[in-house]
Amino acid sequence: MAAPGCSAPGLWVRGSGQCLGSLFTLYSKPLCSAAAAAASRPLDAQRLAERLRAQKQQQKTKEPAPTNPVQRRVRELVRFTEQLQRVHPNVLAKALSRGIVHQDKDLVVINKPYGLPVHGGPGVKLCISDVLPVLAKILHGPKAKPLHLCHRLDKETTGVMVLAWEKEVAHQVQELFRTRQVTKKYWAITVRVPVPEAGVVDIPIIEKEAQGQQHHHKMTLSPSYRVDDGKMVRVRSSRNAQLAVTQYQVLSSSLSAALLELQPITGIKHQLRVHLSFGLDCPVLGDHKYSDWNRLAPQKLSAGILKKLGLQQSKARHLPLHLHACQLTLPALQPQKEELTLLCRPPRYFVNSLRRLGLKMPSRDHSAGDEAAQPGAQSRRSGSLP
């Protein structure tokens, strides 16, 4: 009967072990060396992992920490935006619950942060619609039904955003938006000051393909009139052009920048950004898409604005869009209720840019006013601000 002896591959020892000593002598060195090699492999992998960690740490330490507070804030904002796409949905829902502007049995109004998309899409790992079930459970317990979106804001736009507990209420609010019964006001910091300082931009908007180094689509103006020998001549408009009307007013201005209050009468995609950039030649600060028609490149800023912001042109790509939904007024949803005016403070980077550019925060007579500058956002029923 054969029995296995030493663990060398292909080696069998017959009998009770008479040849075991000689065989052990013959094979002891290869076996020991093989065992030593096997023991060294995990040690080498561990050392390699430690070496890679050390290299990554060295790369991080090589990046000089910016001494300028604005540059530090830009870096913080970039990291925050990236983190929003990596955090767990529960963590994001918790953060949104801390920024609630208003809550009642029908609606929940949040202060939408910068850089967070409302809907999913290519390259989007996390969005507001994904965390609505979790947010509802945080507010109303584990048995709460998911909240419903009532409208949307662009990924880069901050401010008032309305959610509804019931689908029927959400449809009701959506219909109010569609029929232009909701009054919306935005604040925007612009590059340059519009002339005149108050007015209405009434120019249709259409989506076209921009012919540049990179082929891309943008919204642009589709005017119904043109100037011919000093006279306004009506031209045939495209059937794809959409009516777009924006009221604007300068709240504060300097030589190179302005704070505008905007009231969109219509709700066309990117309407405010297109009207400001192509209609008034005053693009929104941090608008890297509509500052130039043919190029997809960081916004080109004047030396004066860069100096005030403490930035270099090479770092302008990190500048966030300075467009904030500061106020929204909803008509009464039921006969016994009053209209609801919702106010939302601008983000910290917006307020810091105002200060650096020498622009003043509006008084209480202008939309959100001083309430927007306070630590908490507020909501109020119809009537004037206290």
- At 338-383, the pLDDT tens digits run 899 999 999 999 999 999 999 998 875 454 444 433 334 455 443 3
At 307, give phi and psi (nearest 5°).
-65, -45
Beta strand 100-103 with 107-112: parallel, antiparallel or unpaired?
A: antiparallel
> 3-class DSSP state for residue 318?
helix
Residues 166, 168, 170, 174: what is their CA dihedral angle, to the nearest 10 degrees?
180
- The answer for 280, left when phi > 0, alpha when psi is -120 to 50, beta otherwise, is alpha
**Which secondary-structure segment (H or E) carries 170?**
helix 167-178
The residues that are catalytic are: 154
**Per-residue confidence (pLDDT) for residue 384, from 0 to 100:** 27
Q: What is the pLDDT at residue 104? A: 93
Give residue 275's pLDDT: 97
Q: Which residues pair with 232 in a beta bridge?
A: 227
| Amino acid identity, position 211 | Q
Please provide residue 6's backbone torsions phi and psi, each rounded to the nearest 5 degrees.
-65, 160
Specify the residue for token string 């043109």.
226
Quick one: pLDDT at residue 10?
44
pTM of the model: 0.74
Tell how strand 323-330 and strand 158-164 pair up: parallel
- Cis before residue 196, ω within 30 degrees of 0? yes
Long-range contacts of 121-124 (CB under 8 A, 24+ apart): 124/85
Beta bridge partners of 246: 201, 264
Backbone angles phi and psi of 340, in degrees to 5: -120, 120
Helix (H) or strand (E) holding 110: strand 107-112
Q: What is the pLDDT, as a whole number, of residue 63? A: 57
pLDDT (tens digit per residue) in 316-335: 888 999 999 999 999 998 88
Domains of the chain in sequence order? 67-179 (3.30.2350.10), 183-326 (3.30.2350.10)
Concatenating the DSSP letter of every residue in 190-250 gives: EES--SSSEEEEE--EEEEEE-SSS-EEEEEE--SEEEETTEEEE-PPPTT-B--EEEEEE
Distance CA 170, CA 147 (A): 9
How far apart (Å, rounded) are the C-alpha atoms in residues 258 and 78?
A: 24
What pLDDT, on the 0 to 100 scale, is given for residue 14? 44
Q: Which parts of the chain register pLDDT below 70?
A: 1-46, 55-71, 73, 77, 79-85, 212-214, 364-386
pLDDT at 373: 37
pLDDT of residue 234: 76
d(CA 79, CA 70): 14
Full DSSP string of 28-94: HHHHHHHHHHHHHHHHHHHHHHHHHHHHHHHHHHHSPPP-SHHHHHHHHHHHHHHHHTTS-HHHHHH
